[in-house]
Amino acid sequence: MFVLRFFVVSFLLHAALSYAAPPNKKPPPTVEVQTVTRSTIAQDFLALATLKAAESVLLKPEVAGRVVAINFNEGQSVNKDQLLVQLDDDLLQAELSSQQANLSLTQAEYRRYQALFEQQQVSALDYERKKAELAQAKAALSLVQAKLRQRQIRAPFAGVLGLRQFSVGDVLQANQALVRLNSMRSLKADIKIPETNNVLVSLKQSVLLTLDAVPNLTLRGQVTAIEPSLDNTTRALVLRVSIPQGDARVRDGMTARARLLLPSKNTLLIPEQALVAQKGQFVVFVVKDNIATAKKVSLGKREVGRVEITQGLQVGDVIVVSGQNKLNKPEVPIKPVPLQGAL
């Protein structure tokens, strides 16, 4: 009887202890955390730009005429005022000789009358008449010389010539396109930036330009003009960039990547790895009292490994930056440890 009572009591005691013992709890997941701080981020704006020659002109004759000489090769570099094309001018050269001879005679006659007038041997009226004749002779000569200059096509500035569209013997019409002249010693480019960056832009801001077509080349320029009105189609602001130092390898019309160097700003930055995509938006797990809570955040600019937070966090917040895959609920108990090598 005693033995039976012993087994009954033992069984009941074991059952009671088994029922009262708490179940084995799974320990909270360990995650790496970091405190949110402010930091500096560059606001540089990147855009595509088309490089243009600072000076470019399509050369055309002022008057019609037959080409008698071409004094350049296609693609040649030329100097300012260099003679490029000569049109026929035989008749004008004959007229030039005639007007030069007439001027010489008129000048001699004027000097003779001037001496006689000083000796009071001719009237003031006769003297003034000779003076007028001299002025007319000079004007007639100048007119012929101007017409001769119109028969010559010269480079208005130093640059590089393109492909010509005419040959010796061709009869050209006035304003007929002949050849393009580009000055690549200096360049220009137009850059479009979003209207939201309007307040960040000012004259003389620096711009760096790189080209896929010319590796290892970086061109430096400055914003020299800002279009007063936004582009009607893109709602973008157009900036004119002047590049004072060109390069012989650069061609008019090449595409460049432009980096507009804007002032840096102090803002909230977190590691990009802290972001979690959920239902088309980004959240960050914020830790308080060892509880990680998902909070929606708004993003700003990105740079390598970091992202700006414009809404949703504040300085001093502790956030999960590694181990988010262990957090499958909006609020999860966690075991936080500092991030190794935190930014």
The predicted-structure confidence for 285-324, as pLDDT tens digits, reads as follows 999 999 999 999 999 888 888 999 999 999 999 999 999 8
285/268 Cα distance (integer angstroms):
16
256/261 Cα distance (integer angstroms):
15
Q: Report pLDDT for 189.
A: 93
Q: Report pLDDT for 24.
A: 58
Q: Which helix (H) or strand (E) holds 14?
A: helix 2-20
Cα angle 133-134-137, degrees, rounded to a multiple of 5: 85
301/285 Cα distance (integer angstroms):
20
- For residue 4, pLDDT over 70 is answered with no
pLDDT-derived band at 2 (thresholds 50, 70, 90) equals very low
Q: Report pLDDT for 241.
A: 95
Q: Report pLDDT for 3.
A: 46
**Mean pLDDT estimate for the chain:** 88
The neighbouring-strand residues paired with 306 are 271, 303
Q: Report pLDDT for 93.
A: 93
58/72 Cα distance (integer angstroms):
15
Mean pLDDT of 266-288: 92
The pLDDT > 70 percentage for the chain reads 92
- Higher-scoring residue by pLDDT: 201, 30: 30
Domains 46-54+185-260 and 89-150 share a fold: no
Cα angle 301-303-304, degrees, rounded to a multiple of 5: 155
Answer yes or no: are the C-beta atoms of 223 and 241 closer than 8 Å.
yes
Q: Report pLDDT for 23.
A: 56
Contacts 24+ apart (CB under 8 A), 276-280: 276/324
| Residue 203 three-state SS | coil
> Which residue, among 184, 228, 234, has the nearest Cα to 47 in the 3D structure?
234
pLDDT-derived band at 233 (thresholds 50, 70, 90) equals confident
**In sequence order, what DSSP letters do the residues of 113-168 get, joined into one string?**
HHHHHHTT-S-HHHHHHHHHHHHHHHHHHHHHHHHHHHTEEE-SSSEEE------T
The predicted-structure confidence for 138-167, as pLDDT tens digits, reads as follows 999 999 999 999 999 999 999 999 999 899
The pLDDT > 90 percentage for the chain reads 60
Q: Report pLDDT for 188.
A: 94
> Which residue, among 207, 215, 217, has the nearest Cα to 243 in the 3D structure?
207
Structure-token pair, residue 205: 């801001």
Q: Which helix (H) or strand (E) holds 222?
A: strand 218-226
Structure-token pair, residue 29: 């997941």
Q: What is the CA radius of gyration of the chain?
A: 43
Q: Report pLDDT for 194.
A: 84
- For residue 16, pLDDT over 80 is answered with no
The alpha carbon of residue 227 and the mean position of all alpha carbons in its chain are separated, in whole angstroms, by 14
| Residue 324 three-state SS | helix
pLDDT-derived band at 127 (thresholds 50, 70, 90) equals confident
Q: Residues near 262 by Cβ (< 8 Å), separated by ≥ 6?
A: 42, 43, 44, 45, 197, 200, 201, 205
- Helix 124-150, helix 90-118: angle, nearest 10: 160
- CATH class of the domain at 30-40+265-338: mainly beta
The predicted-structure confidence for 163-215, as pLDDT tens digits, reads as follows 998 999 999 999 999 999 999 888 999 998 888 777 778 889 899 999 999 99
- For residue 342, pLDDT over 60 is answered with no
Q: Report pLDDT for 304.
A: 83
Q: Report pLDDT for 89.
A: 95
Q: Report pLDDT for 111.
A: 93
Q: Give the least confident one: 4-8, 237-241, 324-328.
A: 4-8
- For residue 1, pLDDT over 60 is answered with no
The predicted-structure confidence for 73-95, as pLDDT tens digits, reads as follows 999 999 999 999 999 999 999 99
Q: Report pLDDT for 164.
A: 93
Answer yes or no: are the C-beta atoms of 98 and 104 closer than 8 Å.
no
Q: Residues near 68 by Cβ (< 8 Å), separated by ≥ 6?
A: 86, 87, 88, 168
Taking the domains of the chain in order of start, what are their residue ranges? Answer: 30-40+265-338, 46-54+185-260, 89-150
- Residue given tokens 């930091």 in the structure block: 39
Q: Report pLDDT for 341.
A: 59
Q: Report pLDDT for 87.
A: 97
CATH of domain 46-54+185-260: 2.40.30.170
- CATH class of the domain at 89-150: mainly alpha
> Which residue, among 276, 287, 281, 263, has the nearest Cα to 36 in the 3D structure?
287
- For residue 33, pLDDT over 50 is answered with yes
Q: Residues near 314 by Cβ (< 8 Å), separated by ≥ 6?
A: 36, 268
